Structure 1
Amino acid sequence: MKHLLITGAMGQLGQSFTAIAKQWPQFQFTFADKKLADITNQLQMAALLRQLKPYAVINCAAFTNVDLAEQQPELAYAVNATAVEQLAQLCRETNTLLVHFSTDYVFSGRQLDAGENQTPYTEQDLAEPLNVYGASKLAGEQAMLNIAPAGLILRSSWLYSAFGHNFARIIYNKIQQGLPLRVVADQIGSPTYAPELAALCLKLLSADHFATTQLLHCAGQGEASWYQVAQEIQKYTKQQTTLTAISSNQWQSAATRPSYSALSSQQLQKQFGLSLPAWQQSLVTCLNKMGQSD
C-alpha cells in the first residue's frame, strides 16, 4: 500500500483530499497540518520523512491570500518558493515522489494568438506573473524543476469547494441571505472544483511513476468570469438577489490580477487520458454538497 503524506491538511485542497480518502483504499494517508508539517521548517520535514517514509508527499501547503501577499512578500516567498525548493531537495535525496500545486496566476493574461484572440494557456506558454503571489508560485515551480525530484507540478485555476474561504462558498452564502452582490465581470479563468482536482491527482499517482518533475495544467474545462460563476450559483439557488456586474477597476484590491488566465488541460488529456468535467457541471456538484450541509 502506497503511503501518502498530505501537507497543508487544514486548507481547502488538503480538506478535499481528506473528504475523498475513503474512496482510495489503495493508499494510506497521513494528513498533516502546519503543527505536524511546517514546510518552512526544513529540519522538521526531514525528520517527518525519515519517520514516515512515504511513497509521495502531496504538498497542499501554500500562502494563497493574493492581496495579503502584496503586504507580506517575504512570507509568501518563504512558503511558496523557498520551502518548495527545500522540500524538492529533500524528496530527491530520499527518493520520494513530490506533488506540488501551482496557479494560473503565473500568467499575465496579455498573450494573444495570431488572430489577436485570447486562448487558454498551455504548459509551453511564457509565465509573466503580475503580482507577488503569482511570482512566488512561479519561483517555487522553477526551483522544483531545477532540482527535478520525481513528481508533478499541477497548475490549476480558481479553486473552490464546500470547504474553507473561497468564491463559490462566499457567493452561495450571500445569495442565500438575500444580500445584493457586485461581482467582477472582466476577469476570465477556469473554475476548478478542488475535490475533483484531488481525485485526479490520485489517479495520476495510481497510474504512473514519474522519473523526474513534470508540469501539467489541470483545471475545469471551459472558461468563465467571476460574474458568470455567480450567475450560475444564483440560477441554482433560485434566489432573486440583485447581482451587478462590475469591472476590475471598480473592485478595490491590493494585487493586480490577470484579466485572462484560463488554462488548457489538453496535455493532461493527451498524455494520460484524464480530464476534469466542465466547470458548470462541477459547480453543481459542489453546490449540491453545500446544500446538504445547510
Structure 2
Amino acid sequence: MAMAHCYTCSISSNFFSNPKFHSNNSPPFPKLFTLSAIRLPQFRSNSLAVDSTTSYPLEKDDKKLLLQVNDLTAVIAESQQTILNGVNLTVYEGEVHAIMGKNGSGKSTLSKVLVGHPDYEVTGGTMTFKGQNLLEMDPEERSLSGIFMSFQSPVAIPGVSNADFLNMAYNARQRKLGLPELGPIEFFSHVYSKLDLVNMKMDFLNRNVNEGFSGGERKRNEILQLAVLGADLAILDEIDSGLDIDALQDVAKAVNGLLTSNNSVLMITHYQRLLEYIKPAYIHIMRYTTLSFEVP
C-alpha cells in the first residue's frame, strides 16, 4: 500500500554545502525532516498526500497569509482516479517555496489544481488565496486575482503578437484592480523596461506568442509575462527544464528581480541547480512510500 510523505526543510545558509545533500548514496534531504502524510482513516490507495508543519495564522512575522491549502483531495476528471489526497500547503507573502519529487508524484498536478485546470476535479478540502475561496473561482478569476502559472511547455498562439497579448492581459488585470488601463503607446513604454530583465530584444514584442520560439525564449517569455502582470503568487512549473546554463541564469536573475516582500514564488523542479540560483525558504518533497498495516 502506498502512502506519500513530505520532507519539508527550512533552508539555512550552509544547507547546500551539507555533504548529505550532494551524496549520491543519501536521500536528497535529511530524514530529520520526514513528516507523516495523513491519518490512516483518510487514506486511499494510489493517492498522494503532502503534509506541512506550518500553522495557519493570518499573519506571520508581519507577513500576510497568501495561499492556504487544507486537506486537498483531487481526482483526474476523466478516470476519477485519486491523484492528490490530504495535501496541505501554506505560503505567506515574501516566501519562496520549492516542490520536488519524482515524475508522477503529483507536483504539476497540484499546480494545475491551484489554477483550476479542467482535467482535474477537487473532491475534498479547501484552497484559499488572499482570503478568497479558489474553489468558487474560474481559472480566469484566479489569474486576475494575482495567481500566475508558468507552464512546462508554453503553447504558441499564431496571429497574436507578444505586444498585443501582453497589453490585453495587463489591462484585464488593471480592470480587476480598478486601475487605469494603458493604450498601445503607453504600454510600450511600460513593457520596454521589462525586456532587459529577461535579456530580450525589442523585436521580440513583434513576434507571435511562442511561435517559432526556442525553449529558452519560451521560458523567458513566461517570465516577461510575470513581470508585466505583477502577480502576487507565481507558480513556476519546471521553469528550468530544457535550459542551458546561460538561459537558466537569465531566468533565475529575472525571477529574483521580481521578488518583493509582498509576492511569493512556488517553483516545481527536479534539479538542485535551480535552487542554487533562486534560494527557497522551504522545500517540500512529494514522494510515495510503502506502508503495511492491519486494520483492527
TM-score, structure 1 normalization: 0.28
Question: Relative contact order, CA 8 A, sep 6+: which one is greater?
Answer: 2
Structure possessing the higher radius of gyration over alpha carbons? 2
Answer 1 or 2: which has greater helix percent.
1
More strand by share: 2
TM-score w.r.t. the length of structure 2 is 0.28
